[in-house]
Amino acid sequence: MLKTVSGGVCAAKGYKASGIHCGIRKNKTKRDLALIVSEVKANAAAVYTTNLVKGAPLTVTKSNISDGKAQAVICNSGNANTCNADGIEKAEAMCKLVAEELGISEKDVIVASTGVIGQTLDITPIKNGMKQLVGALGNNSQEAAEGIMTTDTALKEIAVEFTAGGKTCTIGGIAKGSGMIHPNMATMLVFITTDCAISSEMLSKALKNDISETFNMVSVDGDTSTNDMVSVLANGMAGNEEIIAEGEDFNAFMKALNTVTVYLCRCIAGDGEGATKLLECKVSGAKTKEIAKTVAKSVICSSLTKAAMFGADANWGRVLCAIGYSGADVDVTKIDVAFISSKGTVEVCKNGAGIEFSEEKAKEILLEKEIEIKVDLNDGEYSSAAWGCDLTYDYVKINGDYRT
């Protein structure tokens, strides 16, 4: 039985976090450095952006957790430390600063950065702020979540309790992500902590299986970023027998992990740059899982569909169009489409053709903050979902002068 609890990345036993303004960002009211620490060394796993241009922190993190272990996470916002000649050196320096202050190995540190690409990262503010950052460690998940934000307008955190091996376990996460969001992975950072005892191998398997249905199904603007990472620490302090194979306990862990990741996906999509609405495309009746995923992604990535949702225009033809160019093997004469929100449901397409519906009712439904685009392919048993947002004038305003 899953239960939502407070505390984010500090909800699980043995974790502390902090977030401060150290001076990377000019705005002194915004935190720009975050830290998460486990009392004991934890099993670790991570997944990274598919972009060939990768931030230096990803390279360093991949090396550091190649043994499946980590104890701390350090992340700065305001500078991505990407495409810099000294990027690796700076990322390693961040790990060393954390390690020296905490008395742990620099190889047990996950490092991440987010912000502007191609600008040299000044390590001085991080060095000067490290003692304050470590000194502020406590039940401060929210401060850490604020420290990793860039253009985000809303804090993103969650935690849930579940049972494994007869023990109560907890898993929690924080995330950032608002623009440059597109499968596979997005311009996002997600840090997850759990006190569940699970081997590094099974932790990695769980994470990789999960992101194909969650973070790889989120799109805001079609741009895949360079610094994306999802990392998980599992310190085993819940006291359950370590999960080393598939089975009932592994399934319970997967369900809890998925609850956390789906929630964070929805937060990221709903907080898309300039967005006013969260869009969720639910596809059913597909011949294969891959077809369902391809269709859902195509609809949620369609700029014309996103613009129609911004205008509360039930232009269902754009949904059909997106399905048609997706490359998925579908029978367009079987497709049904409906729009759903808290105001009700309006069916707009049946068997690939338009049907009569009330434009007034459709407008009322599409003016809500959360919209479901329901697509039934009527051709099989598989389903999938993808998340995105509407496309607004403000998206261009935000990104027109992002660097300056």
Catalytic residue list? 187
Tokens of 55: 């931030």
Strand, helix or coil at 93? helix
Q: CA quadruple 402, 157, 302, 327: dihedral positive or negative?
A: positive
Distance of CA 12 to the CA centre of its chain: 19
Contact 267, 156 (CB under 8 A): yes
Task: Output the CA angle 216-218-219, nearest 5 degrees.
Answer: 120
Q: 44 has which bridge partners?
A: 233
Cα–Cα dist 221/328, whole Å: 21
Locate tokens 């700029």: which residue? 303
**In this structure, what are the phi and psi dihedrals at residue 96, rounded to the nearest 5 degrees?**
-65, -40
Structure-block tokens of residue 308: 């129609």
Strands (E), 80-135: 109-116
d(CA 54, CA 228): 8
State both tokens at 259: 């609850």
Place of tokens 């907080």: 271
Round to whole Å and give the CA distance between 59 and 110: 10
* 189, two tokens: 């950072």
Q: Which two tokens stand for residue 338?
A: 């409906």
Q: Which residues pair with 113 in a beta bridge?
A: 76
Tokens of 299: 């609809």
Tell me which amino acid residue 53 is.
Answer: V
- C-alpha 97/C-alpha 42 separation (Å) is 19
The H-or-E segment that residue 79 falls in is strand 69-79
3-class DSSP assignment, residue 243: strand
Query: Looking at this protein, which amino acid is placed at residue 83?
Result: C
Cβ pair 174, 148 in contact under 8 A: yes
Amino acid present at 319: V
